[in-house]
Structure 1
Amino acid sequence: MSAQRFALSFRDELSRLKRPLRLAVGLIVLAVPLAGCGTGALWDKFAKKDDQFVDEPADKLYNEGLYLMNQSKDTKAAAKKFEEVDRQHPYSEWARKSLLMSAYAAYQSADYDTCIGSATRYVTLHPGSPDAAYAQYLIAASHYDQIPDISRDQGRTEKAMAALEEVIRKYPTSEYATSAKQKLEGAKDQLAGKEMDIGRYYMKKRDYTAAINRFKTVVTQYQTTRHVEEALMRLTEAYMTVGVVGEAQTAAAVLGHNFPDSKWYQDAYNIVKSGGLEPSENKGSYISRAFKRIGLG
């Protein structure tokens, strides 16, 4: 149905629905004089209600939204205009465009929940649209921008990673996939940082098994993050402390092979040497396999 035809049918339907209202108003007006009251104010009240059912052209609402967003920088008011297009002209091409612009305006206002809702609706209704990739990216970016610092729960970070991976999986050749990959590395770095923070805490408590498990997660899942060098050194330290020297030697050897100029390698080397040993890689160790898997080592 075209926007014009929809607008006409919408007004016809409203006219049909308003007939009983007008009849009721007429009865009330007839009854009011019996009580000695005036009718002007009452009639004005109902007349104003009728005036609210006035559609505006879809293109007019859409352009007003663009103006508010680009010229007035009032993204909240712009979002309302775009939402009005969808409300008044839900089956039009303008409604499809407005839904995406509404998501974008909400994102610009840092109203991330609204952005995610509008963008998700867009992807659901228009999965084959050329702009679906951007809508999916807005969902991911909204989650990403809410990532908390490492001292807090990282549930939002995990949601961001899942949404970013969705962009990369669904739209691998789009321009948004490149940006999503960059953000994904940032999200991984955040989770790795959280694991390191907890691991250090356990080291201070001398709970070496718990600490090893945290550093192991960094080494096996987040090898491309900036935290992996310290994680290998901490594994060297923890394994030497509990007497698992083979893994300590492997951690030091892998660190030295992949990051020979790292400040953490010197520390790991000194720890192993203090036990009268040398860094030596065990190819069967999970540490060695983790780096082989991603083409390092």
Structure 2
Amino acid sequence: MRVLLILALFITVVSCSSFGEDRDEFASMSTEEQFYRTANQQLNASNFTGAVRTYQALESRFPFGQYAAQAQLELIYAHYRASNVEGARAAADRFIRLHPDHESIDYAYYMKGVATFSENTGFMSRFLPTDPSKRDISRARDAFNEFSLLMTLYPDSDYTADARARMVFLRNNLAAYEIHVANYYLERRAYIAALNRGRYVVENFQGSPVVADAVAIMVECYLRLGLNDLADTSLALLRTNYADHETLDNNGDFIVRNHVTNPSLLYTVTFGLLGSNEDNTPLAPTSRPQRSVAPDNAVPERGRSLLNILTLGRFGRDAASAPLPSEPPPGSPNPI
């Protein structure tokens, strides 16, 4: 029994000392070149987390060494492959700030845009069919601006072609997002807001596949608002450039959509399986109603005194006893 107690105490002491020991995983490396080669080997072996630690250890031990700048540049890619896009952007910003004249500075700008671009796509989009234009597009705008900055500062960079292709993809997503928002406004009869979104796409996203949808939205908004001249102009543009658009029938006439604005209770309860959600909202009148003119002999409305209004009619002058505006008040001289 005493032997077992001593053995258990010995095992406990040894285990506590082993856990409390602070091991240095880089103890076997002493030179800057060893750190750099080890980090590159880890990177090539897809051990991105280990490569990040090794590059950071190299930079902390040899901040002014010959491999320091290259290690900072490789650290951007290691963070990105480790799915740490925030770390990749931070590392790119740091490299740009510390080495503005480096020969590979364009790579830092490019990787910053790629990291932002990857964050916009999201993790679930790798496994599920999602539409990125229906999600938050703040990161898409940031990525577009990063690639645009790269192409502005370094138009002859090796990464310009890929950046331009990504910008086209992002631009189409941004335009499609505006169309989704415009349709949302249309379904809720906010025609001015929908018109502004459609016009914004036409003015700023020329070449995007959804420009035709934007013109169609403008046509419908103008019709709904009763601006037929502007509707005819937009419709002529739609017929000329997008004759096969779904909003045009075989005769080239515009098909006004049915608004999803008045779903029935049955439709709501059954999640759209039964009932209807269509609301045929009439178009706006083509002309404004004429303003009615009162006849000359019409009796003008008499007013109430402030005291009569405040006392709910108990005191003061009511409408029946109020003098007509054309009559002189009691006790006043007659007009000559």
Distance 1:110 1:268 in 2: 53
User: 2:111 matched to 1:138?
Assistant: yes
Distance 2:212 2:68 in 1: 51
Query: Is the 1:233–1:255 Cα contact (8 Å) retained in structure 2?
Result: yes
Letter in 2 for 1:195: E
Distance 1:244 1:233 in 2: 14
SS at match of 2:254: helix
The offset of 1:100, in angstroms, is 0.7
**Higher relative contact order, chain-length normalized (CA < 8 Å, sep 6+):** 1
Number of corresponding residues: 228
Equivalent residue, structure 1, for 2:42: 68
SS at match of 1:97: helix
For residue 180 of structure 1, the aligned residue among 163, 167, 170 is 163
The offset of 1:93, in angstroms, is 2.2
The offset of 1:254, in angstroms, is 2.5
The offset of 1:116, in angstroms, is 0.7
For residue 78 of structure 1, the aligned residue among 12, 30, 51 is 51
Gaps of 5+ in 1: 1-40, 274-297
Equivalent residue, structure 2, for 1:117: 90
Query: Is the 1:65–1:78 Cα contact (8 Å) retained in structure 2?
Result: yes
Gaps of 5+ in 2: 1-13, 122-131, 257-336
- Report the TM-score when normalising by structure 2: 0.62
Distance 1:90 1:58 in 2: 10
Letter in 1 for 2:72: L
Distance 1:209 1:53 in 2: 64
The offset of 1:174, in angstroms, is 0.8
> Rg bigger for which structure?
2
- Percent identity of the aligned residues? 23
Distance 2:212 2:25 in 1: 65
Name the Cα RMSD after superposition: 2.8
Distance 1:240 1:86, change over 3 A: same
Query: Is the 1:248–1:272 Cα contact (8 Å) retained in structure 2?
Result: no
Query: Is the 1:236–1:272 Cα contact (8 Å) retained in structure 2?
Result: no
User: 2:218 matched to 1:218?
Assistant: no
Distance 1:152 1:261, change over 3 A: closer
Distance 2:25 2:224 in 1: 76
Distance 1:82 1:50, change over 3 A: closer
Equivalent residue, structure 2, for 1:5: none
User: 2:90 matched to 1:107?
Assistant: no
Distance 1:201 1:63, change over 3 A: same
Distance 2:249 2:78 in 1: 50
Query: Is the 2:52–2:79 Cα contact (8 Å) retained in structure 1?
Result: yes
Letter in 2 for 1:90: P
User: 2:87 matched to 1:129?
Assistant: no
